[in-house]
Structure 1
Amino acid sequence: MVCFCFLVDQRRKIRRSKPVAGSCSRCGRGASVADMRTATRFCYIPVYWKSWKAIICTFCGAILKSYR
């Protein structure tokens, strides 16, 4: 018996953010703390959501630290 599972995508969305003291270690620009939401979709139907906080760069978008 063969079973195929296809993970269509997993998207991260910034719900809200505010500036924080410090700068990005990669590009040297400003950073902000953000409330993130990850949605996992299977066949274009969202099946799982997870909310978490992260410190992200406002210029390059790199996640510097995450709080799950």
Structure 2
Amino acid sequence: MVCFCFLVDQKIVVRRSKAAAGMCSRCRRSARVADMQTVTRFCYIPFYWKSWKAIVCSLCGNILRSYHK
């Protein structure tokens, strides 16, 4: 019996961002509103992606709040 193992990975990409009011709870830096995109790939071929908005720290990248469409 032959078993194949395929690589599946998921990457989160920041498409656009702009300044927002508020601070990060970890590092006390400014927050940004960002348009995020999650891309899931199977054998290096993207087969699923989802766009959503999030409030992200500008220094450490911590996602403070997310808004899924």
Query: Is this a same-fold pair by TM over 0.5?
Result: yes
The normalised TM-score by structure 2 is 0.88
Deviations 1:25-59 (A, max 9, x none): 11100100000000000000000010000000000
- Equivalent position of 1:23 in the other structure: 23
What code does the residue aligned with 2:18 have?
A: K
What code does the residue aligned with 1:25 have?
A: S
Taking only the aligned residue pairs, the percentage that are identical comes to 72
Q: 4+ residue runs of structure 1 moved beyond 4 angstroms? A: 2-5
Aligned length: 68
TM-aligned CA distance change 1:18 to 1:7, over 3 Å: same
Uncovered stretches (5+) of structure 2, i.e. residues with no partner: none
Structure 2 contact 24–57 (Cα < 8 Å) conserved:
yes
The normalised TM-score by structure 1 is 0.89
- For the aligned residue pairs, the C-alpha RMSD in angstroms reads 1.7
What code does the residue aligned with 1:60 have?
A: C
Structure 2 contact 54–66 (Cα < 8 Å) conserved:
yes
Uncovered stretches (5+) of structure 1, i.e. residues with no partner: none
Aligned counterparts of 2:7 and 2:46: Cα–Cα separation in 1: 11
- Equivalent position of 1:58 in the other structure: 58
What code does the residue aligned with 1:30 have?
A: S
- Equivalent position of 1:48 in the other structure: 48
